[in-house]
Structure 1
């Protein structure tokens, strides 16, 4: 049996997404951006972030990188199951992540995307969680830093459940 404990309310998340969009706007001024969302977890965050980027030319693409399967523990093996479709050479790219945990998936993805020779390659993560970090990765824009707990909601799932929840919750197993 699982119980959910709210850690971040929908209002807190939306306020922080707005702040992140304002910082990104200042950093890139009027330069066009390509946002690359990691599926499936980042789709809600990317959608909210993109709509808050005012006065910017924004292109959106997705990549699907798998390392968890239907478990709550990373398999350690990272594979791309859906690659980007937009050309990103010479463009300002921001990888939009739901959560950076071990760092293995993000490190793999950044190496892969850098082969496409973007002008800039940055990372925006809703949650930077360092409890199980195995590989150090730079997260340029951090929504929230949480030290531990298995998190769901706002796109994050546990065995494909709970993505639809508007806040962020910790799963408490009983």
Structure 2
């Protein structure tokens, strides 16, 4: 598949994605059965994952969205720009940060530090994709869909310069 000037090949198909999200939702349902968690979805990339995850979570819960960015083209800039911030009171709440992908961990590290100052009862992370080889921070990621190598991926919410988010499968950049 071609997106703009890059070629991508199928990497994780929609059935595997759906199945794994079901497993993550079941774990969340068991752990948060009486806790009323607040899901904090990081836009734009997590929108498909957050939507499908919430359809399978059956515990009493809420969801909110924040927007931060650190990417340009295929590289993380390392600079976190918060574009739309958290509006909800998270004091004594159980937070589950919903991410599309964790690679360096810069964004999560920044957000967790900010959220901790607001006094939540707990903060956990649910990410569809995790690149452990490039992680720069010690982060406890409780719910991981797939561990992947340090290759650029698009689809299922992830983009290349804004394109490719609408694909139902995940594609990997062809070198």
Query: Post-superposition, which runs of at least 4 consecutive aligned residues in structure 1 deviate over 3 A?
Result: none
Is residue 10 of structure 2 the alignment partner of residue 6 of structure 1? Answer: yes
Residues 83-132 of structure 1 deviation map (CA, whole Å, 9 limit, x = unaligned): 11111111111000000011111100111111111111000000011232
Aligned to 1:57: 60
2:20 corresponds in structure 1 to 16
List gaps (5 residues or longer) in structure 2.
none
Secondary structure in 2 aligned to 1:24?
helix
TM-score (norm 2): 0.94
Q: Give the secondary structure class of the aligned counterpart of 1:160.
A: coil
In the TM superposition, what whole-angstrom CA distance separates every residue of 1:133-159 from its partner, at most 9, and x where no partner exists?
222221110000002210110000110
Q: Which of 124, 148, 156 pairs up with 1:154? A: 156
In structure 2, distance between residues paired with 1:82 and 1:23: 29
In the alignment, the residues of structure 1 paired with residue 52 and residue 61 of structure 2 have an alpha-carbon distance, to the nearest angstrom, of: 13
Q: Under a length normalisation based on structure 1, what TM-score does the superposition of the two structures give?
A: 0.94
